[in-house]
Amino acid sequence: MAIIFILLLVLIGGILLGVPIFAAMGLSTLVHYLDTGRESTLLILNQRLFNGVTSFTFLAVPMFILAGEVMVRGKLIDRLLDVARAFVGHMRGGLAQVNILSSIFFAGISGSGQADIAAMGSTIVPAMVKDGYPRGYAAAITAQSATLSPTLPPSIVMVVYGAVFGVPIAALFAAGASVGLFMAIAYMILAYFMALKYELPLHPRATFRQTLNAVRAGLAPLGMPAIILIGIFGGIFTTVEAASVAVLYALIMTLIVYRTITLREIGPILISAAVTSAAVLIISGVGLTFSYIVAIQHIPQTILGALSTLSQSPFVIVSLIIVVLLIAGMFVGRTANILLFGPIIIPIFYELGYSPVHTALIIIIVLGVGHLTPPVGGALLTACLIGRCTLPDILKYMWPMIILEIALAVVIIFTPALSESLPAFFDLGGVSR
């Protein structure tokens, strides 16, 4: 018990003091040495970390990051906006709907929420402001729609989750696709009602020819998520292979077909993608080591035992965990939070009868709510920066979105079928309790 206390003290204390999370997690695992007293423990921890950073499944992380980087630098994402505009631009609050739909498309390329806000926000927020939308609203809906990225394939968060906690990544992608689309529809309904309330402009429907032209121009960027999804779900590629084929596709499109990237730019793109990948890989590798220590110290069982003294009700226990995740999500990104809390709370969810994919989706969605919540939600602050607005400006419009996010999280928690139907249909695993 004392070891668990010291471990959590080093971990939480280190993080709150500002030690980089990978180092705080890594140092907390060394506490296990105090328990065993054997130097070989430290050697084993080193080996565990090495096994983590050289995990084959993690290879999908640098590949998806590189594919997204090439597509974004190749400026092909503007075409996604045109496709979205052709399909939903005529609806009430058309550009808000375009913002949401284009985030779905962009998620299929980038898999990162922050990248979505930075890349799409810098294009669509000025367009929305020019069209008469309040700047705060434009930034708020950009932040909200970007939270779809970690839910939809090829989400980097899901790759890390699957690799660390042994859940089939294809099953997570399938579950994320159904939940993400469900959430996107809810966002669009809210956007419709907010457009009515704020009397946002209405535009004529795109003609058939305009739609056709937009779709034709958007085929290049839309081809990438298509390759990934068909490749994985069709059994043609593994997730890692699909990621590498996505990079090849992105390079062919940007270097050869559209020539929006020159060979000279490839070096900086590679380095940028490698640096981003390193930050994810090291924290994931340390996360695997941390999971190992958490398991052998029986920390989930200890915490579940402590929670059970408060209440025997699974509902109350899950609610307590959700509150912790909501708060944690305000301060730290999803990947870090998953690696920090996952080893402790995932076994508790399993103990309470939740399936692996349902557990994953609950954790990912709930952490996403924290991202939108003031005062330090990551998506919120990035949207403020990109949208060039103040926190009060964006918050004025953000509250209904945060309430919707919480409502959706509750629906996802109580409706396992939302997460489990697609993985079960494709027989991808991860649904058995």
Partner 1 sequence: MTGQVESPLRRVVDGIDRAAGVIDRASRVAMGIALVGILSMLLLQVAVRYILPFPLPWVEELAVYLSGYIAMIGTSVCLRMGYHLQVDLLRDKLGPRAVLYHALIINLVVAGFGYFLLKYGIRFVELGAGQTSPSSYFPVALGRLSMPVGGGLLIIQALVLSLKAFDDLVNGPRDPYKIRS
Binding site for partner 1 (CB under 8 A): 14-23, 26-27, 30, 42-43, 45-47, 49-50, 53-56, 58-59, 62-63, 66, 237, 240-241, 243-245, 247-248, 267, 270-271, 273-279, 281-283, 285, 331-333, 335-336, 376
Please identify, using beta-carbon distances, which residue of 26 and 225 lies nearer to partner 1: 26
- What's the min distance (Å) between Cβ of 179 and partner 1? 25
Report whether 19 contacts 283 (CB < 8 A).
Answer: no
Please identify, using beta-carbon distances, which residue of 66 and 214 lies nearer to partner 1: 66
In order, the DSSP letters of 236-305 are SS-HHHHHHHHHHHHHIIIIIIS--S-HHHHHHHHHHHHHHHHHHHHHHHHHHHHHHHHHHTTHHHHHHH
Amino acid (one-letter) located at 83: V
- What's the min distance (Å) between Cβ of 252 and partner 1? 12
Q: What radius of gyration do the chain's Cα atoms show?
A: 22
- What's the min distance (Å) between Cβ of 60 and partner 1? 9
- What's the min distance (Å) between Cβ of 205 and partner 1? 42
User: Closest Cα partner for 53 from 336, 285, 279?
Assistant: 285
- What's the min distance (Å) between Cβ of 25 and partner 1? 10
Please identify, using beta-carbon distances, which residue of 335 and 359 lies nearer to partner 1: 335
- What's the min distance (Å) between Cβ of 95 and partner 1? 33
Please identify, using beta-carbon distances, which residue of 12 and 407 lies nearer to partner 1: 12
Please identify, using beta-carbon distances, which residue of 18 and 204 lies nearer to partner 1: 18
Please identify, using beta-carbon distances, which residue of 186 and 279 lies nearer to partner 1: 279
**How many alpha carbons fall within 13 Å on the CB side of residue 151?**
32
User: What is the sign of the dihedral through the CA atoms of 241, 242, 244 and 248?
Assistant: positive
Report whether 116 contacts 73 (CB < 8 A).
Answer: no
Q: Between vectors from CA 99 to CA 160 and to CA 199, what angle results, nearest 5°?
A: 145
Please identify, using beta-carbon distances, which residue of 26 and 162 lies nearer to partner 1: 26
User: Closest Cα partner for 161 from 151, 350, 230?
Assistant: 151
The total of other beta-carbon atoms located within 10 Å of residue 315's CB is 11
- What's the min distance (Å) between Cβ of 61 and partner 1? 9
Q: Between vectors from CA 300 to CA 298 and to CA 301, what angle results, nearest 5°?
A: 65
